[in-house]
Amino acid sequence: MVLIDDIITDGGSKFEAIAVLEEAGLIVNDLVILIDREQGGRELLASKGYALHSILTISQCLDEWETSGLVDAAAIEQSREFVKATRFA
């Protein structure tokens, strides 16, 4: 079974959803996520045997917003620093 969700940060909330499905007798192998915030969720899920497939990463989003000029450069840099600082916090 594949679990589909919008975003992943550290992965904690995904285990809650997985538990409900597995308690119902389903087997979860993969998760499909729209945006991976690159803050350790992928690695945590992998350590428990789950595969994460993300459509985008937060870095890709930031790159696009920077290239398009849709977001102020200072805000982009601040966001990149936040992601880096909280990557495996």
Q: What is the pLDDT of residue 86?
A: 81
For residue 66, the 8-state DSSP code is: H
User: Domain limits of the chain?
Assistant: 2-85
pLDDT tens, position by position, 6-52: 999 999 999 999 999 999 999 999 999 999 999 999 999 999 999 99
Query: Could you tell me the fold of the domain covering 2-85?
Result: Rossmann fold (3.40.50)
Q: Indicate the pLDDT class of residue 89, thresholds 50, 70 and 90.
A: low
d(CA 25, CA 27): 7
Residue 88 has pLDDT above 70, yes or no: no
Question: What does the block give as tokens for 89?
Answer: 């916090």
